[in-house]
Structure 1
Amino acid sequence: MSQALPTLDLKTLSPDLRAAVEAHVAAFAIQARELDAERVARAHLEAEMQELAAHNERLEHLVRELQRARFGRRSEKLNPDQLALTFEDLEIVIGEAQEAHDRASNAEPRAAKQKRSKAAGPRSLPKDLPRVETVIEPDSLACPCGCGDMVKIGEDVSERLDIVPAQLRVLVTVRPKYACPKGRAGVAQAKAKPRLIEGGLPTEALIAHIMVAKYSEHMPLYRQWQVFKRSGVILDRSILADWVGRASFHLAPIVERMAELIKQSGKLFMDETTAPVLDPGRGRTKTGYLWALARDDRPWGGADPPGVVFHYAPGRGGIHAERILDGFDGVLQVDGYSGYRRLAQAERCGGDPLVLAHCWSHARREIIKATPKKGSPIADEILKRIASLYAIEKDIRGQDPQHRHAVRQARSRPLVETLQAWIGAQRARLSRKSPMGTALAYMANHWAGLCVFLDDGRVEMDTNPVENLIRPLTLNRKNALFCGHDEGGVSWGRIASLIETCKLNNIDPYAYLRATLEALAAGHPQSRLDELLPWSFTPQA
Structure 2
Amino acid sequence: MSFTPDIDLAAIPLEQRGAVAALVREVAELKDINKRLEHLVAELNHAVHGKRSEKLSEDERQLAFEDLETATSEVEARKETSAFSERAKKRTKPAARRNIGNLPDHLPRIEQVIEPDSLECPCGCGEMHRIGEDRSERLDIVPAQLRVIVTVRPKYACRSCTDGVTQLPAPAHLIEGGLPTEATIAHVLVSKYADHCPLYRQSQILARSGIDIHRATLADWTGKAAFHLKPVVDRLAEHVKTSTKLFMDETTAPVLDPGRGRTKTGYLWALARDDRSWGGGDPPGVVYFYAPGRGGENAERFLAGFNGILQLDGYQGYNRLTRPSRKGGDPIRVAHCWSHARRKLKEVFDRDGSQIAAEGLRQIAGFYSVEADIRGTSPGQRLSARQARTAPLVAEFGQWLQRERLRVSVKSRLGEKLAYIHRHWEGLQTFLTDGRVEIDSNSIENLIRPIALNRKNALFAGHDEGGNAWGRIASLVETAKINGVEPFAYLKATLEAIANGYPKSRIDDLLPWNFKASS
Q: In 1, are the aligned partners of 2:245 and 2:310 still within 8 Å (CA)? A: yes
- Once the two structures are TM-superposed, the CA of residue 399 in structure 1 deviates from its matched residue by 1.2
Q: 1:448 aligns with which of 426, 430, 435?
A: 426
Which residue pairs with 1:406 in the alignment? 384
TM-score of the two chains, using structure 2 as the length reference: 0.72
Q: 2:206 aligns with which of 228, 233, 241?
A: 228
Q: Distance in 1 between matches of 2:290 and 2:429?
A: 31
Which residue pairs with 2:179 in the alignment? 201
Which residue pairs with 2:398 in the alignment? 420
- Once the two structures are TM-superposed, the CA of residue 187 in structure 1 deviates from its matched residue by 2.0
- Once the two structures are TM-superposed, the CA of residue 183 in structure 1 deviates from its matched residue by 3.6
Secondary structure in 2 matching 1:170: strand
User: Which structure shows the higher strand fraction?
Assistant: 2
Letter in 2 for 1:457: G
- Once the two structures are TM-superposed, the CA of residue 298 in structure 1 deviates from its matched residue by 0.7
Q: 1:333 aligns with which of 306, 311, 315?
A: 311
Please show how residues 121-270 of structure 1 align to structure 2 within 5 Å.
Answer: 166-270=144-248
Q: Distance in 2 between matches of 1:230 and 1:319?
A: 47
Q: Distance in 2 between matches of 1:168 and 1:514?
A: 15
Please show how residues 313-324 of structure 1 align to structure 2 within 5 Å.
Answer: 313-324=291-302
Q: Distance in 2 between matches of 1:279 and 1:318?
A: 23
- Once the two structures are TM-superposed, the CA of residue 280 in structure 1 deviates from its matched residue by 2.6
Q: 1:497 aligns with which of 475, 478, 501?
A: 475
Q: 1:524 aligns with which of 496, 502, 506?
A: 502
- Once the two structures are TM-superposed, the CA of residue 483 in structure 1 deviates from its matched residue by 1.2
Please show how residues 295-444 of structure 1 align to structure 2 within 5 Å.
Answer: 295-371=273-349, 373=351, 375-444=353-422
Q: 2:269 aligns with which of 291, 297, 302?
A: 291
Q: In 2, are the aligned partners of 1:196 and 1:517 still within 8 Å (CA)? A: yes
Q: Distance in 2 between matches of 1:423 and 1:457?
A: 25
- Which structure has the greater CA radius of gyration? 1
- Once the two structures are TM-superposed, the CA of residue 534 in structure 1 deviates from its matched residue by 0.3
Q: Distance in 1 between matches of 2:361 and 2:175?
A: 56
Q: Distance in 1 between matches of 2:442 and 2:419?
A: 22
Letter in 1 for 2:502: H
- Once the two structures are TM-superposed, the CA of residue 347 in structure 1 deviates from its matched residue by 0.6
Letter in 2 for 1:431: S
**Deviation per CA, 1:326-367, whole angstroms, max 9, x where unpaired?**
010000001000000000011101111000111111111111
Q: In 1, are the aligned partners of 2:190 and 2:488 still within 8 Å (CA)? A: yes
Which residue pairs with 1:534 in the alignment? 512
Q: 1:481 aligns with which of 447, 453, 459?
A: 459
Letter in 1 for 2:418: L
- Once the two structures are TM-superposed, the CA of residue 487 in structure 1 deviates from its matched residue by 1.4
**Deviation per CA, 1:381-433, whole angstroms, max 9, x where unpaired?**
11111111011111111111111111100000000000110111111111111
Secondary structure in 2 matching 1:502: helix
Q: Distance in 1 between matches of 2:466 and 2:352?
A: 47
Q: Distance in 2 between matches of 1:219 and 1:230?
A: 16
Q: Distance in 1 between matches of 2:439 and 2:163?
A: 75
> Cα distance 1:512–1:407, how it changes in 2: closer, same or farther (>3 A)?
same
Q: Distance in 2 between matches of 1:414 and 1:518?
A: 56
- Once the two structures are TM-superposed, the CA of residue 374 in structure 1 deviates from its matched residue by 5.0
- Once the two structures are TM-superposed, the CA of residue 222 in structure 1 deviates from its matched residue by 1.4
- After superposition, the CA RMSD in angstroms is 1.2
Letter in 2 for 1:187: V
Secondary structure in 2 matching 1:202: coil
**Deviation per CA, 1:92-129, whole angstroms, max 9, x where unpaired?**
xxxxxxxxxxxxxxxxxxxxxxxxxxxxxxxxxxxxxx
**Deviation per CA, 1:230-281, whole angstroms, max 9, x where unpaired?**
0000000010111011011111000100100111100000000111112233
- Once the two structures are TM-superposed, the CA of residue 168 in structure 1 deviates from its matched residue by 0.9
Q: Distance in 2 between matches of 1:372 and 1:215?
A: 36
Q: In 1, are the aligned partners of 2:255 and 2:464 still within 8 Å (CA)? A: yes
TM-score of the two chains, using structure 1 as the length reference: 0.69
Paired residues, number: 378
Long gaps (5+) in structure 2: 1-141
Q: In 2, are the aligned partners of 1:371 and 1:436 still within 8 Å (CA)? A: no
| Consecutive aligned runs of 4 or more in structure 1 exceeding 4 Å deviation | none
Q: Distance in 1 between matches of 2:359 and 2:338?
A: 15
> Cα distance 1:297–1:165, how it changes in 2: closer, same or farther (>3 A)?
closer
Q: In 1, are the aligned partners of 2:348 and 2:354 still within 8 Å (CA)? A: no
Name which of structure 1's ranges 374-383 and 488-497 shifts more when overlaid on structure 2: 374-383
Secondary structure in 2 matching 1:171: strand
Q: In 2, are the aligned partners of 1:194 and 1:521 still within 8 Å (CA)? A: yes
Letter in 2 for 1:253: P
Q: Distance in 2 between matches of 1:397 and 1:241?
A: 44
Query: In percent, how many aligned pairs have the same letter?
Result: 63
Letter in 2 for 1:214: K
Q: In 2, are the aligned partners of 1:269 and 1:294 still within 8 Å (CA)? A: yes
